[in-house]
A and B are shown apart, each in its own frame.
Chain A
Amino acid sequence: MSESKQKLSSLDGRKVILHDMCLRDGMHAKAEQISVEEMVTVATALDDAGVPYIQVTHGAGLGGNSLQHGFSLASNEEYITAVAEKMKQAIVSVLLIPGMGTMKELQSAYDCGARSVHVATHCTEANTSPQHMAFARELGMDTTGFLMMAHLNDAKGLAEQAALMESYGAQTVYLTDSAGYMLPEDVTRCISRLRDTLKPETEIGFHGHHNLGMGIANSIAAIEAGASRIDGSAAGLGAGAGNTPLEVFAAVCERMGIETGVDLFKLMDLSENIILPLMDHVIRVDRESLTLGFAGVYSTFLLHAKRAAVRFGIPARDILVELGKKKMIAGQEDMIVDTAMTMAKERGIKIETSVQ
């Protein structure tokens, strides 16, 4: 230990827990079509790179397999079991959105080897989660409250919702920028408010989307304001313009002296060699994903809107902007087709009622 060692940044020495999302949020970007074998390959590489938490399953989490959200290639149980068996150090986590996922499914995920859960609600509806949060704690899982579409609530409101989740048993509460809409200033204000409100032992997390290119900057702002857990995704494989790209974030952390415990070069290699070839389209800030970030729309709506655009002849950007105006939230994918049909009627475009 050299006394003269210069600090790399104001955050030098801070410890942050990384949580990879590419096998859950990334499912959205792959229309739920990642095979069990591919998941095992990716997860094994992440485990080897020292990533401590890896989330898997359908993009919408437990109970996600549906016409509303698409059907994945395998059941959630198959994904969890296959990945959990291979992990040397990483903890396998799942997502549970009450109203879709149930405690039965959480029990089943636990039985397959999941030991951590994000219990997610819209950022004003935390009180739909007490049953699930309590049950997760009963199972002994690492239990996180996940406030989605955080830009639709203010700092005070978010802190109140976070405190509710803490009271239900959440050990960590995340602000989740599902629309990739937040700017670093917003993140600083909101996370600071959470830090002031929650018990010191309750951890705070941030889950970013890169729709305005702010994934890294927002995550750093979150750490500065007191967050100690960050979600990201190798090569950014995730909904919209992707999650905070994990290897980029890890590199920035290393430059700043923030300790993540991951092997940066291994993370870079797996992003380039394994994740990139998996992508169906290049995940970047393009016209539509930028629209999500700009208009504050749920990132997962992206591919659904593109499909509705083809089916009903309305540009995807127009549909997304309208969904933003109508304040549609996570889980309302049905309203994409509905909105496109209503817009087609208004514009005098004939709707094909039947497609084979």
Chain B
Amino acid sequence: MEKIKCALIGSGNIGTDLIYKIQRSPFLEPVWMVGIDPESEGLARAKEMGLKTTADGVDGLLPHVLEDNIQIAFDATSAYVHAENSRKLNELGVLMIDLTPAAIGPLCVPPVNLSDHTEKLEMNVNMISCAGQATIPIISAVSKLQSVEYAEIVASLASKSVGMGTRENLDEFTYTTSSAIETVGGARKGKALAIINPAEPPLIMRNTIYCITDDKPDEEKITESILAMIEEVKKYVPGYKLINGPIFDGNKISVFMEVEGLGDYLPKYAGNLDVMTAAATRTAEMFAEEIQNGTITLKPVEAK
């Protein structure tokens, strides 16, 4: 079966790491890498790895979409330019996987709600944030058993793994992740905190998840559900690991996790990169399978 052809937009940390993830996929093939800086390391790397490249932004890609049969695009630019990128590509029938905090499409965490999106044939799905991908599965593992009044997550990232896009969009990161804790995680109220730690050698990404249940938590069932969810995430993020917990203090549940990356573009401490790119790849694969099976057909979205 022929692989579904993909374009990667944004040649920063996330876009570059995506090349590796997609090249390994049995369903996807990375064909184009789009940047805005001809000198960027990401574009050079993409060229080396056999991709076609343009430094003219999305407009440099548009004339090639149909002839190269690009069906899926990954946007790893910024919240501010995403909407425009998405509109232009959707018009050509390209499905958009959004890795910025723009969140104009429905939010997706693969083990929680991916199948809902493929069934509805969404043309733009948003991957929330690295912290969202790393923590929402755990919140969902609790909220599907008992109602969660409040959930809060703390993501600690190695300074070297946090690019300028994230640094300049920290508020968007906070808003999008908090809201996804509610809409995807199933907590009535969500809060997200991010810490950027410059320690040398860099620290592996850590995530702490707190949930407060309305009623006394069923400790045995919740622990079992969390452990099962960790196995689900491990299928696409092998370095997703429980360090401590769950512990129960009254109705408060605390879980302490680590995400080690595969060390593709950035070293293994940058699990935040991997959890995002792996989730995006997993999402695209699910769509690609359906396209190949003929269960879904991508159609151009008419300009409004």
Map CB proximity to A onto B102-141 as digits: 1 under 8 Å, 0 otherwise.
0000000000000000000000000000000000000000
Number of interface residues of B (CB under 8 A): 38
Minimum CB–CB distance for B151 against chain A, Å = 9
B197:A332 contact, CB within 8 angstroms:
yes
A125:B256 contact, CB within 8 angstroms:
no
Q: Which residues of B sit under 8 angstroms from A66, Cβ to Cβ? A: 152, 191, 193
Complex Cα spacing A100 to B246, Å: 24
Q: Specify which of A98, A102, A122, A131 is in contact with B198 (CB 8 Å cutoff).
A: A122
Q: Which residues of A sit under 8 angstroms from B156, Cβ to Cβ? A: 332, 335
Minimum CB–CB distance for A148 against chain B, Å = 11
Complex Cα spacing A337 to B208, Å: 10
For window 82-106 of chain A, which residues contact chain B by CB distance below 8 Å? 98-100, 102-104
Complex Cα spacing A8 to B191, Å: 53
- The answer to whether A11 has its CB under 8 Å from any CB of chain B is no
Minimum CB–CB distance for B95 against chain A, Å = 31
B248:A353 contact, CB within 8 angstroms:
yes
Complex Cα spacing A270 to B167, Å: 42
- The answer to whether B210 has its CB under 8 Å from any CB of chain A is yes
A342:B175 contact, CB within 8 angstroms:
no
Given A102-B175, A125-B198, A337-B254, also A355-B249 (CB < 8 A): yes
Q: Specify which of B198, B208, B210, B247 is in contact with A351 (CB 8 Å cutoff).
A: B247
Q: Specify which of B196, B212, B256 is in contact with A341 (CB 8 Å cutoff).
A: B256
B interface: dominant SS: strand
A338:B175 contact, CB within 8 angstroms:
no
Q: Specify which of A99, A122, A330, A356 is in contact with B174 (CB 8 Å cutoff).
A: A99
- The answer to whether A202 has its CB under 8 Å from any CB of chain B is no
Complex Cα spacing A100 to B178, Å: 11
Complex Cα spacing A202 to B89, Å: 47
- The answer to whether B168 has its CB under 8 Å from any CB of chain A is yes
- The answer to whether A313 has its CB under 8 Å from any CB of chain B is no
- The answer to whether A127 has its CB under 8 Å from any CB of chain B is yes
Complex Cα spacing A99 to B245, Å: 25
Q: Specify which of B197, B252, B256 is in contact with A67 (CB 8 Å cutoff).
A: B252
Q: Which residues of A sit under 8 angstroms from B203, Cβ to Cβ? A: 326-327
A102:B164 contact, CB within 8 angstroms:
no
- The answer to whether B214 has its CB under 8 Å from any CB of chain A is no
Which 5 A-B residue pairings sit nearest by Cβ, starting from the closest? A327-B199, A334-B208, A99-B194, A341-B244, A124-B198
The 5 listed contacts between A and B (C-beta, < 8 Å) are A67-B150, A124-B198, A131-B170, A326-B203, A342-B244
- Report which A residues bind B (CB closer than 8 A): 63, 66-68, 98-100, 102-104, 122, 124-125, 127-128, 130-132, 152, 326-332, 334-335, 337-338, 341-342, 351, 353-356
- Report which B residues bind A (CB closer than 8 A): 150, 152, 154, 156, 159, 164, 167-171, 174-175, 191, 193-199, 203, 206, 208, 210, 212, 219, 243-250, 252, 254, 256
Known: A67-B152, A132-B171, A355-B250. 12 other contacts (CB 8 A): A67-B150, A99-B174, A102-B171, A102-B174, A128-B167, A128-B196, A152-B198, A328-B197, A335-B208, A338-B206, A353-B246, A354-B248
